[in-house]
Amino acid sequence: MDFRKLNISFAILSGIVAFGTISYYFIEDMCIFDAFYMTIITISTVGFSEIKPLSIGGRAVTIIIISTSISIGAYSIGVIVKTFIEGELKQSFWRMRVEKQISKLKNHFIICGFGRIGRIICNELYADKIDFVVIEQEPEAVGEIESKGFLCIQMDATSEEALKKAGIMKARGLVTAVRSDANNVFIILTAKKLREDIFILSRTSDGKHESQLIRAGASRVVAPYLIGGRRMAQVLKRPTVVDFIDVATIDSQLGLMMEEAKLGPGSDLIGKNLIESNLRRDFGVIIVAIKKLSGDMIFNPMPSEKLEGGDVIVALGKKEDLKRMNEIVKQSPEKLMPECL
């Protein structure tokens, strides 16, 4: 609402009341209260009879009060109605636009809750241009989400309707980041009811609740306070190691990052060892680990380690090199042939 315009109109209206009261007081020789009363019934045009017969000067004052007050009153009402209608229409169009954008999303993430943790997750996904939708109830948080340009649904994340509107049937995964672990459990159960195979990352405020969230259906559970405490302890014990991890996974000043790439079913690298794959030679990356399809993790793999379909390669290198490597690792020889011809 445009409070500046309303404040101006109310100030003018107050001035009219003061003008009428003073004028009746001096011109018609009324007491202050009678002069004020006469001014108010004149402004409101309720049709009450005059306190006493007015002189020509009093009638002139009355004409001025009626004409100016009606104009100012109509202006104030117009500002209120205009602002209300424009605000409602704007909000309605915004909701329609957001729902249309969400309906087109595929392979995106759903973030339930825009608190401290949810806000960080959204900023990280947005920085990497990964599609996501936020489900949040609090009006203040929704206002911040809109100001950042994030897609948002203002609903209760524990409801089926909210998850359906967020596109859970086409989503890549869901994050439960609300403050209450009980609500996180409700969200997980609702999500699993709608789609059994969806990946769910859940936040917990207490590490003791991790097993309960897993039983409810969470794929992974993260305890931010526990992780934060352990990290602070590592800074005290192994500051250089922590600095390296920050450079490799968080700090982008050096252009380095750690990335994962999954071998596609028809990848040309399947059956080759790390030397034969030429990943280090062609992309200048360091292979930190390989996660096998069975779930086993091989850290610092030997050059003779063979790559198999479904392996996830964890590599450290420059962002551009890792992006090129990821494309090659995922693609099959058939997909690469047209580019080579």
CATH number of the domain residue 86 falls in: 1.10.287.70
The count of domains in the chain is 3
Whether residues 213 and 134 fall in one domain: yes
The Cα 21–Cα 24 span in angstroms is 5
Return the amino acid letter for 232: M
Mean pLDDT by 10 residues, the chain (341 residues): 68 86 90 89 76 85 85 75 64 78 93 93 92 93 90 92 94 93 94 95 88 92 89 89 74 71 84 90 90 89 90 88 84 42 27
Helical (H) or strand (E) element with 299: strand 297-299
Please say whether the beta carbons of 55 and 26 come within 8 A. Answer: no
In a domain, 247, yes or no: no
The Cα 18–Cα 66 span in angstroms is 14
**If you compute the radius of gyration of the chain from its CA atoms, what whole number of angstroms results?**
34
The Cα 277–Cα 282 span in angstroms is 9
Q: Which of 140, 95, 99 is nearest to 119 (CA)?
A: 140
Token pair of 40 as six digits: 């108010």
Please say whether the beta carbons of 283 and 314 come within 8 A. Answer: no
Which pTM does this prediction carry? 0.60
115: DSSP letter: S
Residue-level pLDDT at 130:
93
Structural domain for 188, as ranges: 106-227
Q: Beta-carbon neighbour count of residue 233 at 10 Å?
A: 10
Whether residues 9 and 117 fall in one domain: no
CA 277 to the chain's CA centroid: 41
In a domain, 238, yes or no: no
Q: Which of 269, 271, 310 is nearest to 292 (CA)?
A: 310
Taking the CA atoms of 72, 76, 77 and 79 in sequence, report the sign of the dihedral they define. Answer: positive
Whether residues 202 and 266 fall in one domain: no
Give the CATH number, domain containing residue 282: 3.30.70.1450
In a domain, 42, yes or no: yes
**Interior angle at CA 232, CA 228 and CA 238, nearest 5:** 130
The Cα 113–Cα 179 span in angstroms is 8
Whether residues 111 and 202 fall in one domain: yes
Q: Which of 305, 200, 222, 126 is nearest to 314 (CA)?
A: 305
Token pair of 178 as six digits: 């609300």
Residue-level pLDDT at 337:
34
In a domain, 237, yes or no: no
Task: Name the 3-class secondary structure at 235.
Answer: helix
Residue-level pLDDT at 47:
67
In a domain, 139, yes or no: yes
The Cα 245–Cα 102 span in angstroms is 35
Whether residues 196 and 151 fall in one domain: yes
Helical (H) or strand (E) element with 313: strand 312-318
Return the amino acid letter for 34: D
Give CA separation, 183 vs 9, 180, 211, in Å: 47, 5, 15
